[in-house]
Amino acid sequence: MNWSFSAQIERFEGEGHMHFLALPEALAGEIRGQGAKRFVITVNDGVTWHCGLLGTGDGRWFVMVSKEKLKQAQTALGGWVHVDFRVDDSKYGMAVPPDLQEMLDDDPELLQRFDAMLPGKRRNAIHQIASAKTDATIAKRILKLMNELGLALLLLCLAIPGAHGQDIVLGNAQMDVYLSWLHSKRVAVVGNHTSVVGDVHLVDTLIARGIDIRHVFAPEHGFRGEAANGADILDGTDAATGLPVYSLHGKHRKPQPEQLADIDIVVFDIQDVGARFYTYISSLMLVMEACAEADIALVVLDRPNPHGHHMQGPMLDPAFKSFVGYIPTPMVHGLTLGEAALMGCAEGWVEVPESWQPRVVTCQGWSHGTNFQLTIRPSPNLPSATSIDLYPSLCLFEPTVVSVGRGTEHPFESLGHPNMGLGSFAFTPVSTPGAAPHPKHENAPCLGQHLGQLATTWRIESLAAHGHPRPGFTLEPLERWARQWVSQKGSLDGFITSPSFFDKLAGTDALRLALEAGTPLTELEATWAEQHAAFYEAARPHLLYRWNAPLPGR
């Protein structure tokens, strides 16, 4: 099926300034009604690429357009372009290089194993071979693929849930995969306190193996994970190694050209928790942009996502793009950082040349649906499995009058306020260096709820239904506390202390407006389901692990 139409190049306002073209409203329903997941778009009869569709949240559907493609199409913001749009009916969602296709045609076993690969890994392999500039490199990468496929079926078996007690091997532990990429190279590491191989920090491990580490980059909470949320991180020197530390959460949030001038390759190794507003994923996108601009390689050492079995909450309205909402995903996005890196390149979330792509070292023994609990707190205020389970559901309380337990032993497990009278769980926030220097309602006794039982219920119910305990997501506590405030004050005025920050966390103003109007949030959640289903289909070609959980939006 083919469609032709004219479209104007538009741009989402806000941080990042993403360019896009929208499908005509009259065609959007027809195109999406085909049930296709991937499409081929040609602009101005000369610039062609594979793409997925994303929703704006207001009923429109669009395709991201990178600055490089704008230049190739000889157009710019505000320009009108001719668009030819068709369903991508290629077998793998992208063209297979002739040399690889010849090998697949001649070797049935290779073809069988190639077809058994997960779509994201397969697309990554095709891209790596297609981007090779010499025949020797093409041959080398095809040989590497064949060697990897010798183990591929075993790894797929390991990733199927149900093998209780199975070890999960993180990307950083697979040094036989990536250590050779770093030898004789000048290396920078983006990491923090979670960047450990066994009990030893990745930086120490690499230095012990003779890798030339020039410096490290520190995200929010710092290189050693000791800074409070939102606190500016200063450049400095790591006391343990003597390496220079450059901040990605201070004056700059993106590596600067001079910081990459003497670097050949950057290694990114940080544990994420799967929420859009958890800023490590924003840092990853900015590191990708910087590496692509400097034409240096990036290696992402992948890790499981503890919320990697579901996609929940509002999609990001690009008008509210910020550092706490940098990528056009649901609030709970379901992706590993490796998957997000690949999808970000392919879908135009970040401005990178088509020839540039990060290398991802995948985990073993994990799938979307495997139970995974962290052994190291990813940030100072997520000290437990329960707090990580509840974090996506409670973070929207941050710009409200309600405490989430910062400054206590149970942050992000409880809700409370000195005077609202909702619940009997008592706690008193106190100054906690490195975690909550001046918490909300400091030294004031609060009453409210401890939500640990909710997290336990999620896991027990999921265990009974799906064979694995997994965390969930809910906005019911937010709605309940907002209604309690309205019942006491007569309106929502004063409940949300920073409407602009609330909207940035939510990625939209629709949630705040619904609370102000008293609209049941279940009505909003019903509208998100279609967007979750569409996002999952857009993400599926980039998934590196099997999805062994209920399909989002279904």
Task: Kindly tell me if the per-residue pLDDT of 2 is higher than 60.
Answer: yes
73 phi and psi, to 5 degrees? -85, 0
Residues 182-207 have a mean pLDDT of 94
Report CA dihedral (373, 378, 382, 387) to the nearest 10 degrees: -20
Considering only 167-181, 229-243, 522-536, which range has the smallest mean pLDDT?
Answer: 229-243
Q: What is the largest CA-CA distance in the chain?
A: 75
**Is the pLDDT assigned to residue 338 strictly greater than 70?**
yes
Strand 186-191 with 212-218, pairing: parallel
Q: What is the arithmetic mean of pLDDT over 341-362?
A: 94
Q: Which residue has the higher pLDDT, 144 or 267?
A: 267
The answer on pLDDT for 500 being more than 90 is yes
Could you tell me which residue, 305 or 462, shows the higher pLDDT? 305
pLDDT (0 to 100) of residue 229: 59
What angle is formed at CA 278 by the lines to CA 533 and CA 475, rounded to 5 degrees? 55
Res. 153: pLDDT tops 50: no
Alpha-carbon gap, residue 149 to 37, rounded angstroms: 26
pLDDT at site 16 = 56
Specify the range with the lowest mean pLDDT, choosing from 164-168, 186-190, 424-428: 164-168
pLDDT tier for residue 155 given thresholds of 50, 70 and 90: very low
Q: pLDDT at residue 147 above 70? A: no
**Residue 189 pLDDT greater than 60, yes or no:** yes
Residues 6+ apart with CB under 8 A from 388: 273, 306, 373, 374, 378, 382, 412, 471
Which domains are assigned to the chain?
2-87 (2.40.30.100), 98-150 (no CATH), 168-374 (3.40.50.12170), 385-539 (3.90.1150)
In degrees, rounded to 5, the angle at the alpha carbon of residue 234 between the alpha carbons of residues 429 and 331 is 60
The pLDDT confidence band at residue 166, using thresholds 50, 70 and 90, is very low
pLDDT in tens, 101-110: 887 887 777 8
58-100: per-residue pLDDT in tens? 678 889 898 889 999 999 999 999 999 999 888 887 788 888 8
pLDDT above 80 (res 344): yes
Query: What value does the mean pLDDT of the chain take?
Result: 89
Q: How many CB atoms lie within 10 A of CB 462?
A: 21
Give the model's confidence band at 159: pLDDT under 50 very low, under 70 low, under 90 confident, else very high.
Answer: very low
**Residue 492 vs residues 231, 400, 484: alpha-carbon distances, Å:** 29, 11, 9
Q: Under a CB-based contact definition with an 8 Å cutoff, are residues 407 and 450 in contact?
A: no
Structure confidence at residue 142 as a pLDDT band (50, 70, 90): confident
Task: Give the DSSP per-residue string, 124-141.
Answer: HHHHHHHT--SHHHHHHH
Please state, in angstroms and rounded to a whole number, the distance separating the CA atoms of residues 536 and 554.
11
CB-hemisphere CA count at 13 Å for 394? Answer: 26
pLDDT value of residue 117:
81
> What tens digit of pLDDT does each residue of 297-322 get?
999 999 999 999 999 999 999 999 99
In this predicted model, what pLDDT tens digit does every residue of 233-289 receive, in sequence order? 789 998 888 999 999 988 899 999 999 999 999 999 999 999 999 999 999 999 999
**Residue 161 above 70 pLDDT?**
no
Q: What is the pLDDT of residue 352?
A: 92
pLDDT band at 497 (very low <50, low <70, confident <90, very high): very high
Looking at per-residue pLDDT, the higher value among 464 and 87 belongs to: 87
Amino acid 157: pLDDT: 33
Half-sphere exposure of 272 (CA within 13 A, CB side): 31
pLDDT of residue 226: 63
Contacts of 385 (CB under 8 A, 6+ apart): 306, 373, 374, 455
What's the pLDDT score for residue 12? 77
Does residue 303 sit in helix, strand or coil? coil
Structure tokens at 520: 């049941």
Give 37 or 177, the one with higher predicted confidence.
177
10-42 confidence digits (pLDDT tens): 987 754 567 899 999 989 889 988 888 788 999
User: Which of 101-110, 114-123, 377-386 has the highest average model confidence (pLDDT)?
Assistant: 377-386
With bands split at pLDDT 50, 70 and 90, how would you rate the model's confidence at 123? Answer: confident
Residue 250, classed as helix, strand or coil, is coil
Helix 476-489 and helix 521-539, axial crossing angle in degrees, nearest 10: 150
User: Does the pLDDT of residue 164 top 80, yes or no?
Assistant: no
Assign residue 480 a region (left: φ > 0; alpha: ψ between -120 and 50; beta: otherwise). alpha
How large is the average pLDDT for residues 372-389? 89
Helices (H), 423-509: 452-466, 476-489, 499-506
3-state secondary structure 73-110: CCCCCCCEEEEEEEECCCCCCCCCCHHHHHHHHHCHHH
pLDDT-derived band at 469, boundaries 50, 70, 90? low
Residue 130 has pLDDT above 90, yes or no: no
Nearest Cα to 117, choosing from 147, 144, 89, 155?
Answer: 155
Q: How confident is the model at residue 127 (pLDDT cuts 50, 70, 90)?
A: confident
The predicted-structure confidence for 224-247, as pLDDT tens digits, reads as follows 766 555 567 789 998 888 999 999
Q: Which is nearest to 91 in space by CA: 110, 63, 113, 119?
A: 119
Helix, strand or coil, per DSSP, at residue 471: coil
Pairing of strands 186-191, 196-197: unpaired
Distance of CA 71 to the CA centre of its chain: 28
User: What is d(CA 313, CA 124) in angstroms, rounded to the nearest whole number?
Assistant: 29
Looking at residue 435, its pLDDT comes to 81
